[in-house]
Structure 1
Amino acid sequence: MNSRATKVWPLEQSRRKDLDQFVQACRQRLGAGDRLVTLFGRQEESNRMPGVVVTAIFQDESGELQALHCLTDRDKQYSALTPDFPAAHIFERELWEQTGLTPEGHPWLKPVRFEGKRQGQMAEYPFFSVRGQEIHEVGVGPIHAGVIEPGHFRFMCLGEQVHHLEIQLGYQHRGVEQLLLRRNPMLLAPVIESICGDSAVAYSWGFCAAIEALAGYEVTPECDMRRAIGLELERIAIHAATLSGMATDIAFLQGGGTYGRLRTAIINAVQRVSGNRFGRGWIRLGKSKPFTDTLRVDLIQTLAAFLRDFDEINQLMLSSQSVKARLKGTGVVTRQAADELGLIGVAARASGRAVDARVDLPNQPYQRFPIASTVQETGDCWGRMKQRMEEVDTSVAWLLKVLQEEKPTAAPTKEIGLAANSPLKPDALAISVVEGPRGAVVQAIETSQAGRIVHYKVQDPSLSNWFGVAMALRDNEISDFPICNKSFDLSYCGNDL
């Protein structure tokens, strides 16, 4: 398997016997500059080793993924990582909510999605309160005026200026991780594609890569390349939809209409390949949708026509004084804040933080055809708009190069996929990282000694980025919220799972 984005560890190699030892090892890695990709836990119910299993995945300075694993007693306390390494804050909150392990000294220990014993306690959420005689609070949601997922936003304001925004999510928690353990893993693809519906390709590729690694199955290079093509088309479609929303929010009607039309052209092309406009069915275990040469030529023609109109509407947006006045300097997240909060994906790159799994953890297609990753330095809504424009340009250029030079329609062997009874490597941990449109989609699968899946961890990039929206609103006016929110364009269901 020639991919840095997917890795399998025998659990014994990474296991620590003591929670304090585990936390100290995490602290040492973070202190050395390693990036915390994820930190999570699960309840261990077997008689062999009851307690809580905790796992941390890091990306070291060489770009390699590293794992730490620990078994500890239930209801234990440990010294929180967050005061020294703020990027750990959301992971430690989730770990506390799901396992009961308490990070002593955590400055913001609040539920993420109200799991387990906290179900039904949303009304008791401990909102932060800003004190002052003229401070007032404005609550928005969870039911919104438009077609939008449920979430509550509480603004603490002095006049029109926002001093603090607190975001409470969890209204559509579906218990995804437990649901994924209830059926044969070889039949999970349709469920995986539904976790975050507009990122179906990113999720299904990560799922298939992890299961294939555990099964010791290698897909053909042509299959991998078609997967990457689907992923870049998905990226273009979501970025175009976000740009349409941003233009609409500032009443720039040419942009709202044109970006929306261009997104439709892309998702219609996706449907012609996979049979679904959101790319469902594009990727399955051991295989992906086959291309005919007619479809390849059709994609080239679609992308060429898309790029002409996309460049034209971009120039209108970038040259408009009203767009500049509304977006420049609005919703700034500094590079320092992005680093400390551990922002990823578009949100990070728009603040100057170069985090992109296609570059940092390239799999076969991106090794053979490297893709450029750009950053912006302003960290404002303007920067996030420009970042999306440049990423679309980059994805289109990459796709045209691959489709014209690689011609991924021919495969030397027939792709038959994995059988429903394919055995998985026992007592192992597999992780896959796929750079979806919003950032890295992380999936981790742990197997028992019998080769059965005992834990399936799903992590959407939105989990790491929602606090960035709150930071962006500070010292802005409350009327700036729709623009800031849309410039991040995060997923509610991706957070709630």
Structure 2
Amino acid sequence: MQAIHKEFPALAGEEKGRVHTMRISTETLKPIVALLMSKHWRLLTMAGNDERAQAGTFTVSWVFGLAKENKIMRLVLPVDQHKPVFPSIFELTESALLFELEIRDMFGLTPEGNPELTVEDDHGKGRMRRLAHHHNWPENTYPLRKDFPWNKRPPEVDVPFPFRYGEGEGVFEIPVGPIHAGVIEPGHFRFTAVGEMILNLEIRLWYSHRGIEKLFEQKNLTDAVVLAEHISGDTSFAHSLAFCEAAEELAGMPVSKRAGLLRIIFLELERIYNHVGDIGMIGLDAAFAFAGSNGSRLKELAMQLNDKLTGSRILRGVNAIGGVTKDITGENAEFLEKFLASFEQDFEEFVNVLFSTSSLLDRLETTGRLKQKTAFDYNTVGVVARASGLKRDARQDFPNEWWRHTHMSVPTFETGDVFARFQVRVEEVRQSVKIIRTTLAQLPEGEPILSTRPIALKEGDVAISIVEGWRGELVHMVIAGANNSLYRVKVRDASFLNWPTLSRAILNNIVPDFPICNKSYNMSYAGNDL
């Protein structure tokens, strides 16, 4: 912070909690970003906002975080509504590319200098690259502007999507999806291959776009928590937690120690049931049926535990602004302790079989390798980042007061292949069991689990929350509106940062190994598409 103020003394800034907000100009944007990057700050998210009614401008925000020091810097640039252009920072951090295209699609603000603004189609013509908008969305229609009606369907048009086409002798294309042979979300994968060797993979998402961020603006705070649970179904608890923590910061509402520790337990329960399922499915995609059946069995046991403790297999209806609605006491606490002991033994027997099966390891090792430099350049997070040697985990990097006193380690591996992502999950399940067991023993008696204090938000205030979901880091930026409403909610799922690296990890692998590689990532379509 001091280095920025020393370098740019004329810029106005304000600090609230761990978030420092600085209003910048077009001329100072890139020098400030370059300075932040040199000091190891990392881009967490970007967000557009329509402030024409208040200030006559749009704004673009860049949110950076400084790991371990638990600091957040929000740079805010006003954008002229009559000249809706802002500078791209792609040359400084590649992860800005998709954020900038998303802002262009949603607000009509053009990131000048972004190399993906136009791409050539199969006829060599330059066409605008769409990210969130598909071929039937009309041009010059921007849904996150305040004058766009949330409940009116725009007319359909037909705008060709500019896929990149492979050329050359023996080169052919394999289109897969968006509808798949299974109960999974829609996404289109177009492979360019020679024989079975993959030369290029182009991924087209946003088939699951539901207008989540626009819907937040129509919700009261209670209904907004429910909406947050539906951002990505398998991450219901983590996303609702991220929203609640931001709302609590806006309201200045403290959470009791018991509620804070219960949130840790539920967050780790969500991590466990998803990870054990993925461990099994990675094995199944390598044609090892034992892994699939036993991983599914363990996942089912974990989800039955969730249901017993909370009434929801996927931990919905647990978070609320001010704490949680479900406690773990008496019989349920004893049941949880016994479950952990039994589950831990069962899980170890399961993974011992997997690690001793050479045919399985042969399929996982060296497959789908993501190099550490590529992972760093693309700003990957979560399981994918840790498997490529990046020690990133919001529980340690940006801890709240409860995580700050929770002992944990961050498992990392260097190879960046499917096996490394498999190993990260195994280690995290082991660690989650220990965290739950320790936290359960620390629950204080006699404290309320949900605050009854009235919620009061101040219009224009901004809060940013960071939660380590089971896939990785989630970021919610919430701007309060008038009368306890939500003016703007920006959501960034871990998948948004990790999806672009899948097409890099699969290069020079064979087509039959794509399902294993894809499952080892297991990104969320809905969490990405919003």
TM above 0.5, yes or no, is: yes
One-letter amino acid of the counterpart of residue 41, structure 2: D
- 2:523 equivalent to 1:487: no
Task: Show the counterpart of 2:3.
Answer: none
Query: Aligned equivalents of 2:27 and 2:205: distance in 1?
Result: 31
Equivalent residues, number: 486
- TM-superposed CA distance for 1:72, in Å, is 1.3
CA contact (8 A) 1:8 1:213 kept: no
1:411 paired with 2:446, answer yes
- Percent sequence identity over matched residues? 34
1:346 partnered with 2:383: yes
Q: After the TM superposition, which of the residue ranges 294-303 and 75-84 deviates more from structure 2?
A: 75-84
1:114–1:121: 8 Å Cα contact kept in structure 2? no
1:209 matched to 2:245? The reply is: yes
Q: Deviations over 1:354-405 (max 9, x none)?
A: 11000111112222222211101110001000110001111111111222x3
Amino acid in structure 2 at the alignment position of 1:58: F
What is the distance in 2 between the residues matched to 1:205 and 1:418? 18
Report SS of the residue matched to 1:124. coil
TM-fit CA distance, 1:159: 1.3
Q: Return the alpha-carbon distance in structure 2 between the equivalents of residues 117 and 15 of structure 1.
A: 35
Alpha-carbon distance change, 350 to 121 in structure 1, aligned in 2, over 3 angstroms: farther
Query: Which of 202, 218, 231 matches 1:195?
Result: 231
Structural mapping, 1:124-273, within 5 Å = 124-273=160-309
CA distance in 2, matches of 1:17, 1:58: 14
Q: Is the partner of 2:402 in helix, strand or coil?
A: helix
Distance 1:133 1:121, change over 3 A: farther
Alignment of 1:88-103 (within 5 A): 88-103=96-111
| Structure 1 match to 2:486 | 453
CA distance in 2, matches of 1:476, 1:304: 40
CA shift, 1:457, in A, is: 0.7
Partner of 1:36: 43
- Taking structure 1 as the reference length, the TM-score comes to 0.93
Residue identity matched to 1:237: Y
> Would the aligned equivalents of 1:287 and 1:417 in 2 still touch at CA under 8 Å?
no
- Greater length-normalized contact order (CA 8 Å, ≥ 6 residues apart): 1
Gaps of 5+ in 1: 1-6
Within 2, Cα distance between the matches of 1:84 and 1:445?
Answer: 26
Q: Alignment partner of 1:188: what SS?
A: helix
Deviation (angstroms), 1:57: 1.1
75-84 or 300-309, which deviates more: 75-84
Letter in 1 for 2:286: I
Tell me what 2:343 maps to. Answer: 306
Kept in 1, the 8 Å contact 2:259–2:449? The answer is no
Asked whether the equivalents of residues 198 and 509 of structure 2 are also in contact (C-alpha less than 8 Å), the reply is yes
Kept in 2, the 8 Å contact 1:427–1:446? The answer is yes
1:52 is matched with which residue?
A: 58
Render the CA deviation track for 1:213-235: whole Å, top value 9, x for unaligned: 11111010100100110000000
Measured after TM superposition, the shift of residue 183 of structure 1 is 2.0
Whole-angstrom CA distance in 1 between matches of 2:519 and 2:230: 22
Distance 1:92 1:30 in 2: 18
Deviations 1:329-354 (A, max 9, x none): 00000000000011100010000011
Letter in 1 for 2:186: P
Match of 1:65 in 2: 72
CA drift at 1:121: 6.6
Listed as ranges, the gaps of 5+ residues in structure 2 are 1-13, 118-128, 142-155
Shift of 1:450: 6.5
Residues 472 and 428 from structure 1, CA distance in 2 versus in 1: closer, same or farther, beyond 3 angstroms?
Answer: same
1:344–1:414 CA distance, 2 compared to 1 (3 A): closer
Partners of 1:224 and 1:436 lie apart in 2 by 16
TM-score w.r.t. length of structure 2: 0.87
- Structure 1 range deviating more: 355-364 or 109-118: 109-118
Partner residue of 1:357 out of 366, 385, 394: 394
Q: Secondary structure at the match of 1:342?
A: coil
Partner of 2:33: 26
Instruction: Confirm or deny: 8 A CA contact 1:36 1:57 kept in the other structure.
Output: yes
1:276 correspondence with 2:284: no
Structure 2 residue 107 is the aligned partner of structure 1 residue 107: no
What is aligned with 2:465? 432
**CA RMSD, Structure 1 to Structure 2 (Å):** 2.2
Counterparts of 1:447 and 1:13 in 2: how far apart (Å)?
17
Q: For 1:84, which of 79, 82, 92 is the aligned residue?
A: 92
SS at match of 1:98: helix
Amino acid at match of 1:149: E
Shift of 1:447: 2.4
Q: Residue 206 of structure 1 aligns to which amino acid in structure 2?
A: A
Question: Aligned partners of 2:353 and 2:42: how far apart in 1?
Answer: 38
| Contact residue 344 and residue 439 of structure 1 kept, 8 A | yes
Letter in 2 for 1:438: R
> Structure 1 pair 121/473, CA: closer, same or farther in 2 (3 Å)?
farther
Preserved CA contact (<8 Å) 1:8 1:428: no
The C-alpha deviation readout for 1:107-131, integer Å capped at 9, x for no partner, is 3333322187458578622222333
Q: Is the Cα–Cα contact under 8 Å of residues 24 and 75 in structure 2 kept in the other structure?
A: no
Q: Could you say what secondary structure the match of 1:372 adopts?
A: coil
Query: Relative to structure 1, is the Cα distance of residues 65 and 296 closer, same or farther in structure 2, using a 3 angstrom cutoff?
Result: same
> For 1:352, what is the secondary structure of its paired residue?
coil
Tell me, in whole angstroms, the C-alpha distance in 1 between the residues paired with 2:321 and 2:92: 41
Q: Pick one of 430, 436, 458 that aligns with 1:393.
A: 430
Contact 2:219 2:485 in 1 (8 A): no
Residue type matched to 2:497 in 1?
A: S
Secondary structure (helix, strand or coil) at the match of 2:206 reads coil
Aligned equivalents of 2:63, 2:416: Cα separation in 1:
27
Greater Cα shift, 296-305 or 410-419: 410-419
Query: Which one is further off, 430-439 or 257-266?
Result: 257-266
Q: CA deviation at 1:293?
A: 2.0
Q: What displacement does 1:31 show?
A: 3.6
Task: Out of 79-88 and 164-173, give the one that drifted further.
Answer: 79-88
Alpha-carbon separation, structure 2, partners of 1:210 and 1:8: 16
User: What SS is found at the alignment partner of 2:179?
Assistant: coil
CA contact (8 A) 2:188 2:203 kept: yes
Cα distance between partner residues in 1 of 2:263 and 2:409? 18
Q: Give the one of 399, 414, 418 matched to 1:377.
A: 414
Deviations 1:43-73 (A, max 9, x none): 2231x31221111111126341121112211
Counterparts of 1:14 and 1:416 in 2: how far apart (Å)?
A: 29
